A and B are shown apart, each in its own frame.
Chain A
Amino acid sequence: MHLFKKRPAVGLAATAMAAALALVACSGGASTNATTAAPSKITQAAIDAAMKTKTNLTFWTWVPDIKNEVALFQAKYPAIHVDVVNVGQGAAHYQKLRTAIKAGTGGPDVVQVEFQYLPSFTQGGDLLNMAPYGAAGISSDYASWIWSQVSSGSAVYGIPQDVGPMGNLYRKDLMSAARIKLPTTWDEFSQAARTYRAANPHKYLTNMPGNDAGQFMGLMWQAGARPFGYDGKKTVTINLNTPEVAKVIDFWNPLVRDNIIGVDPDFTDPWYQGLASGLYASWQGAAWGPVFLQGTAAKTSGLWSVAPLPQWDTQKPASGNWGGSTDAVLKSTKNPIAASQLALWINTQHEPALMFATKQFLFPASNTILKDPAFVDQKSAFYGGQQVNKDFAAISATVTPNFVWLPFMDYAYSSFNETLGKAFADRTDLATGLKAWRAALTTYATQQGFTVK
């Protein structure tokens, strides 16, 4: 049959172009910033009313089995329905979050944000200040080094969920076979590494990866270095020139150069195999480390132990932190009350918070849980019956305060891999790598409009 008339292709193109320009003009591309000022405090009545209103929340998190804690929340507040979505782990999660924020739609209400990334979101004004919603009153339950990372003045941007104080996870059997006493200072550690390597020419006492800035930052943290500063607005401090940083770099430089320690990237298949097969006799890991080993190094069960990190100054035992998350609320949420209550409830109520610690083996940030016998007394067969939690709780108390992150840690970690991390991997001079990292960070900060001090 005869076909109806249609505009020629050129006309179609023109229409599409017009549509394109219209869309572009409308979207603008800027992230939405709520213009309403935060109310001083939400009344309990308002909260109660909101929690009885039928609401749908989206919660982006990768914590496994968090549905259990959320189920408890939903049992308490049946009117609130929570959709728990795992959009990816780590970097993938943040990429999606940032893209959604940029697009202005498609983001969640509540979202898991690790401590080091909080400033990157507060810098853009993307997070809701939860202080008026009840978050102001919980600060006493957290160590100052934890609370300082989630708050800015009186504002609270994240509810701490779990942390990662660093300790020394080591293979007792391998060390005693090489006749090495557990090192308590870094000097002893350096000696032990050389002795171990001499006794086992194909193995290493430990591994320092070139792709894990988080771990290395934790060690710098322990040494008292405070390489980063951010005033919350336009000024950043990049202070990688300090004696504390140099102390750490100079410690690892000879070990890396002389092939005394491994430099394999971590959290890869070969690295797991290394741990399982005894290629590395120890791991300066975090409190969440034990769970990992139980999964992948099951054959070595019973052979591991936990001790504090080697110390710089045995008179003042210190540790650093590696990882740990908070739950935050996006400013663009349509349900600020319900969302903030979700974040608060699952992390501060005793039952769900204890579940995180005892069932999912997240190391608790809350002092209450840290003292709870159900948590503290847990014995671990993997660690030869050691009460691992008790030891890490003691370590947690020694983490030094006031560590600050840059508002662009995504870039900082990525450029670490290209500079200082690469120096580790290639076994070249770490000081040169450090300088390159500093330069990259400064260039980026200036390019992005920050003032660098």
Chain B
Amino acid sequence: MSQTAVARRRPRAVEMQTRKRGGLKRRQAIASYCLVAPFFLVFLTMLVLPLFYSGYLSLFREQLVGGTVFAGVGNYVRALQDHVFLGGVLRMAQFLVIQVPIMLSLALVFALALDSGRLRMQRIIRLTIFVPYAVPGVIAALMWGYLYGPNFGPFAQGARAIGLPTPPFLGNEWMLGSIMNIVTWSFVGYNMIILHAALRSIPTELYEAARVDGAGEFRVAWSIKIPAIRPALLLTTIFSVIGTFQLFNEPNLLRILAPNVIGVGYTPNLYAYNLAFINQDINYAAAIAFLLGIVIMIVSYAVQLGVLRRERRS
């Protein structure tokens, strides 16, 4: 396109154009490789290499007595029959269908509220909702672990004061919900900022017509704003899906407080970690981690396909 424009400007230099075009392509290619090389160098050594090594490890089996033997797909077969692993995956699926919609809906509502311009103290509100993102998982677990405490946490003390039974935040039934709460608390602000930025990039002309027609704020939000940021919503969803299946920090840290509720395989990532470090079973851990990666890929593509299909229909 731009080449022809140049050619039009300098009709005499057609031959030079051809050479320039070929030279341009080559120069661009060389420049590209130089620019991506540093990234790929680190990418290969820090990601691809360990990944291949991990795959290699997953094909073996090591015993305390007897050393290392080649196991082929043995570890993978074992994982697919391992009820701890499968339970972990199911638990994450449960987490996914409950927590992600809630978190993203909240993020969306907050973003819309901020974007509506109807809020006072906008800056402060935005900052306080976002601040949890700055808190490392270790400390978030520390804080929430205290708040959830069945004997000395404020909710427990409050419940006792008014004669209600103590809410068992760290009990078997509620634990997943408690973790959902921590994750939501940590990341709503983050997703809110992203969606808010997307909202701000919508050209105002789109609303003006609607507002002139008398549409209220809710109508504008529902019919114009949300559809306009659909790609952003899709992406936050995909990344939340990936994050969910990789859940590790919160269960790992809460495990100290509730060691009998959060077992070794509460989440697949936690399972892989414990297999590697407590059972000394690096090979099986590698297989679990690989399978987890595959699960993540499948679910992510499923979500994408689902959304694309919906878009095509509408």
Contact = CB atoms under 8 A, between A and B. Distances in A.
Direct contact of A and B (CB under 8 A): yes
Interface of A: 2-3, 5-9, 12-13, 16-17, 19-20, 23-24, 29-30, 91, 95, 98-99, 102, 123-124, 210-211, 234, 264-265, 268-270, 273-274, 277, 279, 407-408, 410-411, 414, 417-418, 421-422, 424-426, 444, 447-450
Contacts of A447: 63
A123 B64 contact: yes
B67 interface: yes
B34 A3 contact: yes
A448 B63 contact: yes
Interface in B276-308: 277-280, 282
B267 to A, nearest CB: 15
Given A9-B40, A20-B52, 19 more contacts: A2-B27, A6-B30, A6-B33, A12-B37, A12-B41, A12-B44, A210-B259, A211-B259, A265-B259, A270-B151, A273-B152, A411-B278, A411-B280, A422-B260, A422-B263, A424-B260, A425-B260, A425-B261, A449-B65
A234 to B, nearest CB: 5
Nearest to B284: A447
A218 B203 CA distance: 71
Nearest to A276: B152
B185 interface: no
A411 B258 contact: no
Nearest to B84: A418
A410 B280 contact: yes
Contacts of A6: 30, 33-34, 37
A397 to B, nearest CB: 34
15 contacts: A2-B27, A12-B40, A12-B44, A13-B44, A16-B45, A91-B278, A98-B280, A124-B64, A264-B151, A265-B258, A269-B145, A269-B152, A274-B151, A421-B259, A422-B263
Contacts of B151: 264, 270, 273-274, 279
Contacts of B44: 12-13, 16
A449 B69 CA distance: 12
Contact of B64 (A16, A19, A450): A450
A448 B64 contact: yes
A19 B67 CA distance: 25
Nearest to A27: B53
B48 interface: yes
B257 A414 contact: no
Contact of A30 (B31, B33, B68): B68
A20 B49 contact: yes
B170 to A, nearest CB: 9
Contacts of A20: 49, 52-53
B24 to A, nearest CB: 13
A2 B257 CA distance: 61
B164 interface: no
Contacts of A408: 64, 280
B274 to A, nearest CB: 7
Contact of B36 (A9, A274, A414): A9
A3 B30 contact: yes
A270 B259 CA distance: 13
A418 B264 CA distance: 8
Nearest to B65: A449
B84 to A, nearest CB: 9
Q: Which of B33, B261, B274 has the most chain A CB atoms inside 10 A of its CB? A: B33
B174 interface: no
B150 interface: yes
B149 interface: yes
Contacts of B261: 425
Interface string B159-184: 00000000000001000000000000
B156 to A, nearest CB: 9
B8 to A, nearest CB: 28
A447 B151 CA distance: 41
Contacts of A422: 260, 263
B264 to A, nearest CB: 6
Contacts of B49: 16, 19-20
Q: Which of B57, B151, B274 has the most chain A CB atoms inside 10 A of its CB? A: B151
B275 to A, nearest CB: 10
A223 B52 CA distance: 51
A118 to B, nearest CB: 15
A3 B57 CA distance: 40
B70 interface: no
Nearest to A13: B44
B53 A24 contact: yes
A23 B172 CA distance: 45
B285 to A, nearest CB: 12
A185 B63 CA distance: 44
B146 interface: yes
Nearest to B262: A417
B30 A5 contact: yes
Contact of B256 (A9, A268, A449): A268
Contacts of B280: 98, 408, 410-411
Contacts of B68: 29-30
B66 interface: yes
Given A16-B49, A123-B64, A265-B258, A410 B278 contact: yes
A450 B65 contact: yes
Q: Which of A13, A30, A102, A447 has the most chain B CB atoms inside 10 A of its CB? A: A447
B56 interface: yes
A370 B169 CA distance: 46
Per CB-CB distance, the 6 closest pairs between chain A and chain B, nearest first, are A449-B65, A425-B260, A211-B259, A449-B63, A449-B66, A448-B64
Given A9-B33, A448-B63, A448-B64, A417 B40 contact: no
